[in-house]
Chains A and B, each alone.
Chain A
Amino acid sequence: MTWLTWRIERVKVLVGAALVLIAAAVLLTLNVNGPVTMTGARVALTLGPPAFAVVVAVFWGAPLVAREYEQRTHLVLWSQDRPATRWLALRVAHLLLPVVVLMFVVNVVARLTLDRMRGTAIQAMPDYDLWLPLQLATVIAGFALGVLVGVLTRNVVLSMGITLVAYAALRLYVGVIARPHLLPPLRLLDKVRPLDVMFVAGGYLDRDGNELAASAVQSVCVGEHPVIAAQDQCLVAHGIVRSFVDIQPASRLTDLRLVEFGGYAVLAIALLAAAWLVLRRRETTR
């Protein structure tokens, strides 16, 4: 980071670093044996890294260009010899350094905490999100989204709001809805849902292989027939011959993560390129 970037962004960087260090100190000193602290640690591990990414996107990315426009200091910065596009590239590169370092710290703290939780008898939690490349790609994509929104709106508060909503929606959509479908799922027939897999969908099949939603079938057969044997007869009577479970087996987690990482990485590059192109179109280049 050069003097100018540090002079302008130092408050953000210092506050971000302080937040990460405080969270790290709390998590690493937490006694994870009790059920209450265990739940707390789970919540922190689930929400902590995404929250850091949101802070980076909203407070670091969105104001990066928007604040210069709002204070009109872009007129000072971009009327010097260094063109606006080069300024943007340098400023983004300078800020990505602390983003990567802090995300690395977040990742290490999360992994240490997870290891301590696994050492206890209570069931731990999956560590899908804690893969460092994926975490880096998600945080950089958020930062890039903030930068582009800032370039487009030229308004700090507006860009922060849009970035918050858009990035939270993206992370929720990918994490909750899209993730199991990143690769074609594996279908198990007439089997109970195994442990340690990622569940995609489940239900029943009729003779022709058409899928029937589990909920619809169960409301007809299970509710009216308390005895399991009678339920089976009911199912057959409704033309249902098999049940199915679609899953992503544990062996595929690496591939799923790679696909998700690729998606976020491409998104980050596309967003930064778009911000660069918008600035280039707006400003004259000599």
Chain B
Amino acid sequence: MTDGLALAAHGLGKRYRATWALRDCSFELPEGRVAALVGTNGAGKTTLLTMIAGLLQPTEGEVRLPRGGRVAFVAQDKPLYRNFTPLDMLRVGAKLNRQWDQGRAIDWLTRFDVPPGRPCGKLSGGQQAQVAFAVAVGSRPSLLVLDEPLSDLDPLARRAVINELLTEVADTGMTMVMSTHVVAELSGVADHLLLLADGALLMSGDVDDLLAEHRVYIGPRSPEPPVPGRIVQASHAGGQSTFVLQGDAPVDEPWTVRPATLEEVVLARLSAGWTVAA
């Protein structure tokens, strides 16, 4: 596997009986990235993540990690042993991993005020999520895989968790892949985007490149955009038309142009549903 990659998928596919949950998924993820896996419900996000985590055997294709690469995975429902205390859960992590950083794991619990001696079943959903994160962080992975990590958290905790995770990425040089369907949470967080729809990878790429190549044109109602370029999305409301275009041609009055936000690009691509070579 090429140097500098944290993860590579080649022709990855998973079939459940007659249905393909994911098919022909190929991408590469450089080290140190924070990748967002975005897709509608049932797009195959969890299937892809559990295959990356080594918990599910692909029907076809393969997941490749660099030599010595280690994955930590936090499932969406943050499963824990209900009668174990958070300290017991950390001990599970310590027992089952070749590397373990107890200090980091304890720091995480302390940072989020998780009582270390109370059984996990008696903790709040948010605290249980923090225990799961602490185990994952303590195992010092080269690749941290999180399935909907923020779903159990309140808005304040979401921001705090994201910041802590980004700090871990910066401190340890690890790579992170997290799935979400809340695209608004991603701005300023993810620098790599994986877009899934209906079991197919629509795109994989650098977020900055993606934003640089998309523009939003707004002007008087018109069936065609004012400049040439691939139409990602067109919408018409009242006397106004809005086009999300791939391209950055300048435009004259009365049209205006501005850079697209990540949310606009993602939603446009998901609703358009066309496939691009990654």
B51 to A, closest residue via Cβ? A284
From B71, B72, B84, A7 is in contact (CB under 8 Å) with B84
A285 to B53, CA, bound (A): 10
B88 to A, closest residue via Cβ? A7
**Residue A25 at the chain B interface, CB threshold 8 Å:** no
**Residue B77 at the chain A interface, CB threshold 8 Å:** yes
The reply to whether B57 and A80 contact each other, CB–CB distance below 8 Å, is no
**Residue B44 at the chain A interface, CB threshold 8 Å:** no
Cβ distance B76 to chain A, nearest Cβ, rounded Å: 9
Cβ distance A12 to chain B, nearest Cβ, rounded Å: 13
Cβ distance B177 to chain A, nearest Cβ, rounded Å: 13
A72 to B73, CA, bound (A): 13
From B57, B70, B84, A282 is in contact (CB under 8 Å) with B57
* A interface residue numbers (CB < 8 A to B): 2-4, 7-8, 71-83, 87, 281-286
Q: Secondary structure of the B side of the interface?
A: loop
Cβ distance B75 to chain A, nearest Cβ, rounded Å: 4
**Residue B149 at the chain A interface, CB threshold 8 Å:** no
**A80-B93, A80-B139, A81-B97 as given contacts; A75 in contact with B55, CB under 8 Å:** yes
A286 to B82, CA, bound (A): 29
B135 to A, closest residue via Cβ? A76
A8 to B91, CA, bound (A): 13
**Residue B92 at the chain A interface, CB threshold 8 Å:** yes
The reply to whether A284 and B77 contact each other, CB–CB distance below 8 Å, is no
Please name all residues of chain B whose beta carbon is closer than 8 Å to the beta carbon of A77 when the two chains form the complex. Answer: 92, 96
Q: Secondary structure of the A side of the interface?
A: loop
Please name all residues of chain A whose beta carbon is closer than 8 Å to the beta carbon of B160 when the two chains form the complex. Answer: none
A282 to B14, CA, bound (A): 12
**Residue B98 at the chain A interface, CB threshold 8 Å:** yes
Please name all residues of chain B whose beta carbon is closer than 8 Å to the beta carbon of A281 when the two chains form the complex. Answer: 57
Please name all residues of chain B whose beta carbon is closer than 8 Å to the beta carbon of A4 when the two chains form the complex. Answer: 91-92, 95-96
Please name all residues of chain A whose beta carbon is closer than 8 Å to the beta carbon of B91 when the two chains form the complex. Answer: 3-4
For residues 60 through 82 of chain B, which have their beta carbon under 8 Å from a beta carbon of chain A?
Answer: 63, 65, 70-73, 75, 77, 79-82
The reply to whether A283 and B135 contact each other, CB–CB distance below 8 Å, is no
From B57, B72, B96, B99, A283 is in contact (CB under 8 Å) with B57
The reply to whether B81 and A284 contact each other, CB–CB distance below 8 Å, is no
Q: Give 13 pairs: A residue, B residue, CB < 8 Å, sorted on A.
A: A71-B81, A72-B75, A72-B77, A73-B80, A75-B55, A76-B89, A79-B53, A79-B54, A80-B97, A81-B98, A81-B99, A283-B54, A284-B55
Please name all residues of chain A whose beta carbon is closer than 8 Å to the beta carbon of B79 when the two chains form the complex. Answer: 71-73, 75-76
The reply to whether B56 and A81 contact each other, CB–CB distance below 8 Å, is no
The reply to whether B57 and A79 contact each other, CB–CB distance below 8 Å, is no
**A7-B84, A284-B57 as given contacts; A75 in contact with B75, CB under 8 Å:** yes
Please name all residues of chain A whose beta carbon is closer than 8 Å to the beta carbon of B39 when the two chains form the complex. Answer: none
